[in-house]
Amino acid sequence: MNSELRKDLVSGDWIVIAPGRIKRPDQFLKLQKIKRPKVSVRGCPFEDLRKSGQHPPILKFKNHKDWEVVVVENKYPAFTHINTCAHPEKKGPYSVMEGVGHHNLVITRDHYKNFPKLGKKTAELVFKAFVDYYKLLANDYCLAYVSIFHNWGPKAGASVYHPHYQVIALPIIPPDVEHSLKGSENFYKKHKKCVHCVMLDWELKEKKRIIYENKFAVAFVPFVLREPFELRVFPKKHLPFFEDTPSKIMNGVVEVLQKALQKMEKRLHDPDYNFFIHTSPIQDKNRHKHYHWHIEILPKFSISAGFEQGTGIEITAIDPDEAARILR
C-alpha cells in the first residue's frame, strides 16, 4: 500500500498512513518484546493510606472485607484547591492564571492488577468512583473541565507501579478538548449531525476496524490513526456528558474498555499506555449537546520526530485495518 493522507473528521487535521516504512507489522511488534518488571509492594505508598498520609479517603468503595476503590488526595498535585476562583491576569503580553483546581487519585486495592486484570465488579467500581467524584467537583462553579486519565508504565508517565487513576479539575478547558469540541460543533452546524455518531455508524457498518463491541459500546481502531494501535471506546448511544451516563451503558463501556486493553496486552506484548476520557465541559451544558463522550487509548510506541514536530502532521507506519486485524 502506498502512503495516504487522511483528514480527521473532527479536528480537520491531516495525518499520513505510511505502511511502507516497515516491512511487516509483526516485525514492528517484535521490537516491543520487553517483559514488564513487577515492583514489590514493599515501600509502595498506596498500600497503607494512614502511613502515606492519605487517610481518610475522599470517597471509599468497599467489598465484603475492606476498601476496594478509594479516591484520595494527591500529595504532589499540579492544581490545588483554595476558597477562591482563578482569574486571568496579564504579565506583559501574556495571560496568566493561578493553578486553582483539584488533582487527586483513584486507587484500586490490588497492587498487581491493572485495569484489564480487575474483576468485573471492581472495574465497574472504578468508573463509579470517577462519576461520583466528578459530580462532587461539578458543584464547584470555579471549575471548567474535569480530566480523568490513567498512565500505565513509565513510558506513559506512571511514577508509581501500583495501579492508580488521576482526576484533575481545571479552571479552563484544555486545548486538545477545546479543539475536539470546536470541531464537533462546526460539523454539527454544517450537517446537523453528531460527528462522532457519523464515525460510529461507518465503523459499525464496515466492521474492518472494530476490536470488540457489546450492546452498549464499541472499541475500534480509528480510520485516521495518529499513533500505532491507537483505540477509541464509545458508548453507542449519543451521550454528551460522561457523568450522566446510565449505569447499564457505563458498565457496557467498562466491559469494552477491559476487553480492548486485554487484547492490547496479549497482542502487543503488554505496552505502556495512557487512556483518557473526553467529555463535555462542566459549565454551559446546553452549548455542548452535540458532543459524544468517549475514551481514547494510546499505547506508547512512537516518538515524534522533526517532520511531526515541524508540521503537526503525524506519520503512522501501521495501517488501521491491519492494526485491527492484529488486535482481534
Q: How many helical (H) and strand (E) elements, i.e. helices and strands, does the chain have?
A: 8, 15
C-alpha cell at 96: 496568566
- Residue 98 has a pLDDT of 92
- The 3-state DSSP composition of the chain as helix, strand, coil percent (nearest 5) reads 35, 25, 45
pLDDT band, residue 93 (cuts 50/70/90): very high
Domain at 4-327, CATH homologous superfamily: HIT-like (3.30.428.10)
Nearby residues of 286 by Cβ (< 8 Å), 6 or more positions away: none
- Cα gap 41→52, rounded to integer Å: 14
Report the chain's mean pLDDT, rounded to a whole number. 91
C-alpha cell at 130: 470517577
- Residue 124 has a pLDDT of 97
Axis crossing angle, helix 195-206 with helix 175-191, rounded to the nearest 10: 80
- Residue 284 has a pLDDT of 82
Regarding predicted confidence, which is higher, 216 or 309? Answer: 216
C-alpha cell at 207: 466492521
Contact 214, 255 (CB under 8 A): yes
- Residue 23 has a pLDDT of 57
Nearby residues of 141 by Cβ (< 8 Å), 6 or more positions away: 85, 283
Does pLDDT of 26 surpass 70?
A: no
Does pLDDT of 2 surpass 80?
A: no
- Candidates 275, 273, 159, 256; CA nearest to 214 is 256
| Mean pLDDT across 153-179 | 94
Contact 97, 89 (CB under 8 A): yes
- Cα gap 175→153, rounded to integer Å: 25
| Mean pLDDT across 124-153 | 96
pLDDT single digits (tens) 228-265: 899 999 999 999 999 999 999 999 999 999 999 999 99
- Cα gap 110→258, rounded to integer Å: 16
Contact 72, 105 (CB under 8 A): yes
Cis previous bond, 19, omega within 30: no
pLDDT single digits (tens) 28-87: 565 556 778 888 898 899 998 888 888 889 999 986 667 899 999 999 999 999 888 989
Residue-range domain boundaries for the chain: 4-327
* Global confidence as pTM: 0.93
- Residue 19 has a pLDDT of 79
